[in-house]
């Protein structure tokens, strides 16, 4: 195995994928910004903050120096949260070579620019090939080899397939997809709906409520995706409904946990502090809300969650507004666009 891997980001997902790659025999360096965290990881060979029960393989090295981490690597895997990617790439750019493939595993939309990660990378590293790895995949389960299936998306088939080969193991199955826009949006937007699912749980609403929220949530994801050029079919796949299901229902979901705490009455700041990790859906809600208004896309669930997070509206009033919206067809393209005879 000739590939050498640089993983940027010492959170749970970056660590889990670094462990997976090192276990496959790849020389893997993980860059950790926090020197105290990095020193602990080097000493005890565990990421005790995020994956405290998983030992590091011998081929996994921990580094705080970007230049050393990126030196002579063929693959650069970015597990930096979306809001920090631009700064990290700016610092890393002098050490990144054109022949290195950039793989992103973060899920979000930048607040100020409303750019997806692929758009940021294309501006900052225009000569590098790019892929995104996304899908229903909690780090806590991947790190202990629970069966998991994800999707590798790239505008170049050979890159998607190279990433597929790189990550595939007996317990980690990778499909390919050419729809970078759809895969990125699915991974980002499902976190908004997961916040809502958590709020439902915090309010002690039942399964009916959550099922309705998830089903109508995927419609909103597809609407915005179609407006931005995504293939609607992508949202029925692993990075769409697959990721939506796991993030809305799992005990590992930080977005769902944040929502639960909000539903139980905590403030947003208190909820985020309690989760103790980045809650991507909070920032993504702001981006998606702005996009929906600028593009004229109807996203009522996103709008209500935005109002809950940023306008301090009453949660039960938001639910009442959603339930009291004007009557409409469920499948508008069938009932209206196609002039269905009924």
Residue of 142, 147, 187 lying closest to 16 (CA atoms): 142
d(CA 268, CA 341): 48
Say whether 257 is catalytic: no
d(CA 127, CA 284): 27
Instruction: Write the DSSP symbol of residue 55.
Output: P
Strand partners, 134: 151
Cα Rg for the chain, rounded, in angstroms?
A: 20
Tell me if residue 214 falls in helix, strand or coil. helix
Q: How far is CA 319 from CA 200, 203, 310, in A?
A: 9, 11, 16
Whether 153 contacts 131, CB under 8 Å: yes
Set 73, 107, 129, 190: catalytic member: 190
C-alpha dihedral, 292 to 293 to 299 to 300, nearest 10°: 150
Known catalytic residues? Answer: 190
């Amino acid at each position: 195995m000739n590939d050498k891997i640089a993983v940027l980001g010492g959170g749970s997902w970056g660590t889990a994928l670094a462990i997976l790659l090192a276990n496959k025999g790849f020389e893997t360096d993980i860059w950790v910004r926090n020197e105290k965290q990095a020193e602990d990881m080097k000493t005890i060979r565990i990421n005790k903050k995020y994956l405290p029960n998983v030992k590091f393989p011998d081929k996994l090295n921990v580094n705080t120096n970007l230049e050393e981490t990126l030196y002579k690597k063929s693959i650069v895997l970015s597990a930096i949260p979306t809001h920090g990617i631009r700064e990290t790439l700016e610092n890393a750019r002098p050490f990144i070579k054109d022949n290195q493939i950039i793989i992103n595993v973060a899920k979000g939309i930048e607040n100020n620019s409303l750019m997806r990660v692929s758009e940021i990378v294309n501006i900052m590293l225009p000569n590098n090939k790019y892929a995104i790895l996304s899908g229903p995949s909690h780090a806590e389960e991947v790190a202990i080899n629970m069966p998991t299936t994800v999707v590798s998306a790239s505008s170049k088939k050979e890159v998607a397939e190279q990433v597929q080969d790189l990550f595939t193991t007996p317990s980690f199955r990778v499909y390919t997809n050419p729809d970078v826009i759809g895969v990125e949006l699915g991974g980002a937007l499902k976190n908004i709906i997961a916040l809502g699912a958590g709020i439902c749980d915090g309010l002690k609403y039942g399964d009916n409520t959550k099922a309705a929220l998830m089903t109508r949530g995927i419609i909103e994801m597809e609407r915005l995706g179609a407006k931005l050029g995504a293939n609607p079919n992508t949202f029925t796949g692993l990075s769409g409904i697959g990721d939506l299901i796991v993030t809305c229902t799992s005990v590992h979901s930080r977005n769902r946990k944040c929502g639960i705490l909000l539903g139980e009455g905590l403030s947003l700041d208190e909820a985020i502090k309690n989760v103790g990790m980045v809650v991507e859906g909070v920032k993504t809600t702001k981006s998606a809300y702005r996009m929906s208004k600028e593009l004229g896309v109807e996203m009522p669930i996103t709008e209500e969650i935005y109002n809950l997070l940023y306008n301090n509206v009453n949660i039960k009033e938001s639910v009442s507004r959603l339930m009291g919206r004007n009557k409409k067809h469920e499948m508008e393209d069938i009932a209206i666009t196609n002039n269905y005879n009924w």
